[in-house]
Amino acid sequence: MAAVSLRCAAAIATVTVGPAAAAFPLRRHPAFLRAPGAVGLRFSSCRIPREGASMSSSAAAAERAPDAWYAVPGLSLRDHRFTVPLDYSSPDRGAITVFAREVVAGRSRFPGAALICLRSAVRSVFTVRPAVFAGSVCGIGVLFGKYRPGKEGTSMPYLLYLQGGPGFESPRPMEAGGWLKKACEDHRVVLLDQRGTGLSTPLTPSSLSQITSPAEQVEFLKHFRADNIVKDAEFIRIHLDPEAKPWTVLGQSYGGFCAVTYLSFAPKGLKSVLLTGGIPPLGEPCTADTVYRACFKQVQQQNEKYYKRYPQDIQVIHEIVRYLSESEGGGVLLPSGGRLTPKMLQCLGLSGLGSGGGFERMHYLFERVWDPVLVPGAKKRISYYFLKEFEMWLGFNQNPLYALLHESIYCQGSSSKWSAEKIYSEHGSLFDPIKATEEGRPVYFTGEMVFPCMFDEIHALRDLKEAAHLLAEKEDWPPLYDVNALNNNKVPVAAAVYYEDMYVNFNIAKETASQIAGIRLWVTNEYMHSGIRDGGSHVFEHLMGLLNGKKPLF
């Protein structure tokens, strides 16, 4: 689900990242050496790996020695790579690499030391005592170099961060800030690249092209859902901590879905759970229809808010839709070779409607939709800037897992059958961009939905089209949640539930919360789905307060 602001998005974290992550967390990172030869580990079929599981040479499952500590401002980091089974029920079928980055508070300067030295130096200047002044300047250099040690060697409990998605890697810290800085005060934070993302055997259009059969692609992709992400997390917990103590899990958006799977099948590995905009629907074999019916209503409300804030964009969008529909083939070519059509234009709502600052970013994007007329009589054209930015907003060229597996996160023993497309059609002309333009109505953008047309109009997804259709029809998905286990949950859970969340419906979240014993909810309209990015320190501190008794029960 929803980077910029996706679970996909949803993809939302509050560490500082580079400018390429402005819309989606689609960062590139240098590749590291492959892990050397590994020992093996066998697990009983379809089970979460347990502490003390027996070793076997037939299945790769060892951690390579962690890399040395390195630093960004305010943080110390080191990298871990684990070799784990692709399929935990059949470890001999092959292995993949899972990457995790350990983060602790880094060393810092002693406060006030420089001020004391500077005062001494200034006093020396004005009393004109050269020898003393020279010594004071020397003192400045020494004291400026004094640091508090970092927490690399400090014994602290672990906290695992599960990123939104599906299909997006964990954030890449550039400095201490937001929830990460707050969490590092008392924890060793583990930023996990969920399997198939980042440095965890990344599944990209080019890497998936190595599997030429769509049926074999599906057979491979079915192992990249929350059930196996949790198995990876348990494996890492057991191998990362010599004492294999239970850890705290912070799940943002889809990461929260994974955390509820964790509560269902491996609660003994959990000390506590924090959920931010990430409570999944329960109950039916496939909850996708229920989710999309609820979310389309919220998407409609967000569209109405957007046009109330920027009413001038109604005519701008009409002009774009007319231009696209009248172009050859019903759209214009994108820089990568795909096609921008009116329906694809609506997909900007995926990132623009549901997160803090999204309205503004989308409005400013439309300001630069047209090329300037440099020569009188020149043909009107959509600018290259707009077309390139459009592709960057969607981000499927780099991270196809979101499009491929998004609807499957709602499936347990049933198929999704392109649920979003079906519910889109149920709304008749309400979301039809061409009819809206003809009738002078605002063109509504869509939200966190994946449509079959994406596999025709997005160049990087075209070769995965048949696999996408097979995934939409696949019925034998294993369970992701155990309602009985959740009803009898003993793990402390605190959840931020955003009242106006466009990606995770408020009413559905409340319904699920009623099934998780002991959960404490913080319901707020102060933040949208991107609360962990927009106010991460406050959100983290508030949820921890719910767990440790600093916040009142009522």
Please give the positions annotated as active site.
253, 476, 529
**Measured between alpha carbons, how far is 309 from 196 in angstroms, rounded to an integer?**
39
**Beta-carbon-side half-sphere exposure of residue 266 (alpha carbons within 13 Å):** 30
Whether residue 503 contacts residue 478, with contact meaning beta carbons closer than 8 Å, is answered with: no
Contact between 195 and 201 under an 8 Å Cβ cutoff? The reply is yes
User: Do residues 259 and 247 make contact, with C-beta atoms less than 8 angstroms apart?
Assistant: no
Q: Which residues contact 405 (CB under 8 A, 6 or more apart)?
A: 166, 167, 221, 224, 225, 471
E strand or H helix at 457, and its extent?
helix 454-457
Token pair belonging to 127: 């009393």
Strands 247-252 and 270-276: parallel
**The two structure tokens encoding residue 365:** 């994007």
3-state secondary structure of 352: helix
**What is the amino acid identity at position 373?**
V
The pair of structure tokens assigned to 305 is 């808010």
Dist CA 138 CA 146 (whole Å): 13
What is the per-residue DSSP string for 256-321?
HHHHHHHHHH-GGGEEEEEEES-PPP-SSSB-HHHHHHHHHHHHHHHHHHHHHH-TTHHHHHHHHH
Q: What is the residue whose two structure tokens read 């004005």?
A: 126
158-162/70-72 β-pairing: unpaired
Question: How far, in Å, are 65, 171, 237, 271, 272 from residue 245 at the CA level?
Answer: 20, 25, 8, 8, 12
DSSP 138-178: HHHHHHHT-EE--STT----EEEEE-SSSS-PPP--SSS-H
Which residues sit opposite 9 in a β-bridge?
A: 6
> C-alpha distances in angstroms, 58 versus 323, 405, 517?
59, 29, 40
Question: What whole-number distance in Å separates Cα of residue 450 and Cα of residue 226?
Answer: 19
CA terminus-to-terminus distance, the chain: 31
